[in-house]
Structure 1
Amino acid sequence: MDLDKQYRNMVGHLLPYGPAWNKSEPILLSLALTLSNTHARLDDLMQEVNPKTTTELIDRYEQICGLPDSCYPSEFQTLTIRRNRLDSKINLVGGISKDFFLQVLKANGYTDATITNYNNDIFTCESTCDDYLYDEEWRFYWIVNIPHNYQITDMTCNDECDSSLRKWGDKQIECIIDKLCPSHTYVIFKYGVTNA
């Protein structure tokens, strides 16, 4: 049974008994139509509560959350991208762990990215000859490894002679990670590698 019919039945049942009232009175039918339209509109507004499904209130949500920010230029965003960014901004729990940053990378489409830390990789006289030459300062550095040649563009014969031989990088994910990383650390991004 559709919503209009349900409200017509409900309004009809609210009438007192007797021949004075007709259930098909135009004023009663318009009241039922108004109630069903209000009900449908409330159902629509319930979708606006969730940032993943909002349409009408997305501009207001973005204004409250400070979006679009420098990581997401406003001219290149679809509604889906705007919803996902809004959802991640509102529901971001935060953290400084490796798992947190892997979740951020996954939420932005890099499901197979890895992170390399240099906390315990200090080179000493007891290190083997194939160990990396990292000193104590490297404990403040970490690397985001983005595999499978994402965002790598090689120069072709159709490019200008002053073009770069190779370009790489995703400014958007680099901006997001740089904003979220602890202030005492430095992030290095490596593209096209599985692990550093």
Structure 2
Amino acid sequence: LILIDEWEDALGLPECGLGGDDLAKRRLDAYAKDTAYGGLSQWYYVELATRAGFEVEIDEAYGHHCQSHCEAPLYHPKSGLAPVVYSAAPVERWATCNDSCLTPVRLFGDGRLECLLNTYKPAEGRFVFAYTEV
């Protein structure tokens, strides 16, 4: 029981504020991180988000290639070549008259999903996050 704190410190847990209070969940998170192989596939990131309690879909972005139709776009219309992560999130707040012009009209989620996936992505990669209102 005492060693779980030391394991969490060594493994950098909890990540992005996603820790649990339950000892069994904390042990499972430590075991999963210690034995993780990692990966670059969309299934790895979907499993990572699911294990943290998020429900996501990832749309891989493929560029134009030799077997594409001649009128196919060169890049994904929403993200270029970055994968798009779709997730449901509650609206945190709407923009008001007092906000600056750079403030988004609506702010979704709390950033924990973005923090988690950006922690495990390759340094040269990026995700585009698309939220739907719950």
Would you say same fold, with TM above 0.5?
yes
Percent sequence identity over aligned pairs: 23
Checking the alignment, whether the CA contact within 8 Å between 1:121 and 1:134 is kept in structure 2 is yes
1:180 offset after TM fit, Å? 0.8
Q: Deviations over 1:29-58 (max 9, x none)?
A: xxxxxxxxxxxxxxxxxxxxxxxxxx3321
Q: Deviations over 1:138-178 (max 9, x none)?
A: 33x1111103xx132343xxx97536642113322211111
Indicate whether 1:61 and 2:7 are aligned. Answer: yes
Indicate whether 1:153 and 2:89 are aligned. Answer: no
Alignment CA distance shift 1:78-1:182 (3 Å): closer
Partner of 2:120: 180
Partner of 1:162: 98
Indicate whether 1:98 and 2:42 are aligned. Answer: yes
Alignment CA distance shift 1:190-1:86 (3 Å): same
Aligned runs of 1:37-56 on 2, under 5 Å?
55-56=1-2
More helix by share: 1
Larger radius of gyration: 1
Q: Which runs of 4+ in 1 moved over 3 A?
A: 81-85
> Partner letter of residue 175 of structure 1?
C
Partner of 1:26: none
More strand by share: 2
Q: Output the aligned Cα RMSD.
A: 3.2
Checking the alignment, whether the CA contact within 8 Å between 1:146 and 1:190 is kept in structure 2 is yes
Alignment CA distance shift 1:162-1:187 (3 Å): same
Checking the alignment, whether the CA contact within 8 Å between 1:154 and 1:166 is kept in structure 2 is yes
- From 69, 79, 82, give the equivalent of 2:21: 79
TM, length-normalised to structure 1: 0.50
For these two proteins, the number of residue pairs brought into alignment is 123
- What is the alpha-carbon distance in structure 2 between the residues aligned to residue 116 and residue 134 of structure 1? 13
Alignment CA distance shift 1:125-1:59 (3 Å): closer
Checking the alignment, whether the CA contact within 8 Å between 1:142 and 1:185 is kept in structure 2 is no
Gaps of 5+ in 1: 1-54
